[in-house]
Amino acid sequence: MGAAIETHQLTKSYKSKSGGVVNVVDALDLYVEEGEIFGFLGPNGAGKTTTIKMLLNIIYATSGEAKIYGQDVDDMSVHRYISYLPEKPYYYEHMTGMELLRFYGSLFGMSKGDPKYLQLLNRVGLGRDLNKTLNQYSKGMQQRVGLAQCLLNDPKLLFLDEPTGGLDPVAHSEIRDLILGFRDERKTVFISSHELSEVERICDRVAIINRGKIEKQGRLEDLLQGGRIELIANGVSESFSHGLNLPDTTVSYANQRLILDMPDDQDVNALIDSVRTQGGTIVSVIPRRKRLEDLFVETVRNVRSTESAAEAGQL
């Protein structure tokens, strides 16, 4: 597998009002493998959209390089096999769904009568609404027609900026299914989103960017290692709970009920055995997988606290 997107020390700087230089994207090294669904996460103002715009050559990098399928992003031929769905886009509202696709199709040199328009509208579930003007479309329908225009050139790589933002649960699930369908077609999908549960469900790998820098990047299963286990036992003595010496574990005891919240690398079997030896009974053992939201919040908070500490040190 080759790289669909590869950036090396990609930087975008702007002059600040005070006369200094602000790096909105700071020496970004990004690697997105061909055929994967990649989540690009970060708080507001982290540099996600700026990065996407640089990859689309809509804005220009101050330094560093960015390649898409091995070609420089300023090579216009790249645009033949990529697509972009911006966050809350506006489409020409006087057009019908079919006319909109014809408009975007003509940008690729497609003819008016190309059967692909109808196929795509059917694929995104707008086959019955193709003659409605876009101002009659709901938010979900607009997003679906947006995805349809993204698929006109059968792209190898799709950039989706908040594809499910502001949609109701049904539209959410429909868009998710469409994106998952792209995986089966071996398309590479680059998603920027705040909907972390959604990203966790569909992405293979993610990167977390904060203040223009990549803080974490990798496979979800690797990044989300280090979940926790909750064990609840009845009928054990308080002295038993005091005698437990488990690292990184929260122990609660009340009315002969012991509740342990511990890392998932603990020897749970040995613990269960010792509870039973003490005459206790196991009520439940619940593994709690680390969620992407936990990782995201933890990462962003760590960066902020490090920065605060550094600022305090300077004062």
Partner 1 sequence: MKPIIAIASATVGEAIRRKVLLVILFVGVLFVGFAPGLSVLSARQERSVLIGMTLGIIQLTSAVIAIVLTVYLLPNEIERRTIYTILCKPVERWQFLLGKYFGAVSALGVMMALMTGVLIIVFAIQQGEYSVDGLAILARAPAMYFIQMSLLAAVAICFSTFVTPLVNFFLSGGLYLVGSLFATFFETMQSNPSTPAFAKGFATLINTILPNFSLFNVQNPIINPGQQIQSEGAYYLTATGYGVVYIAAMLILGMLVFQKREV
Please tell me the count of residues contacting partner 1 according to CB under 8 A: 33
- Which stretch, 20-28, 56-64, 237-245, 266-274, contacts partner 1 (CB under 8 A)? 56-64
User: CA-CA distance, 164 to 131, in Å (whole number)?
Assistant: 24
**Which residues in the chain belong to E strands, given as ranges?**
3-15, 21-33, 37-41, 63-68, 71-72, 82-85, 157-161, 188-192, 205-210, 213-219, 228-234, 250-254, 257-263, 281-288
Phi/psi of residue 90, nearest 5 degrees:
-110, 130
User: CA-CA distance, 59 to 211, in Å (whole number)?
Assistant: 18
Quick one: which of 24, 28, 68, 85 contacts partner 1 (CB under 8 A)? Answer: 85
Q: Interface with partner 1 includes 59 (CB under 8 A)?
A: yes
Q: Interface with partner 1 includes 4 (CB under 8 A)?
A: no
Task: Say if CB 2 and CB 156 are below 8 A apart.
Answer: no
Quick one: which of 70, 74, 94, 248 contacts partner 1 (CB under 8 A)? Answer: 94
- Which stretch, 17-25, 30-38, 101-109, 163-171, contacts partner 1 (CB under 8 A)? 101-109
Residue 146 or 280 with smaller CB distance to partner 1: 146
Residue 166 or 226 with smaller CB distance to partner 1: 166
User: CA-CA distance, 24 to 190, in Å (whole number)?
Assistant: 20
In terms of Cα–Cα distance, which of 175, 173, 4 is closest to 85? Answer: 175
Supply the DSSP symbol for 103: H
Binding string, residues 64-83; x marks residues near partner 1 by CB under 8 A:
------------xx-xx-xx
Quick one: which of 146, 163, 212, 280 contacts partner 1 (CB under 8 A)? Answer: 146
Residue 26 or 200 with smaller CB distance to partner 1: 26
Q: Which residues sit at the interface with partner 1, rule CB under 8 A? A: 53, 56-60, 76-77, 79-80, 82-92, 94-95, 103-104, 106-109, 146, 149, 153, 159
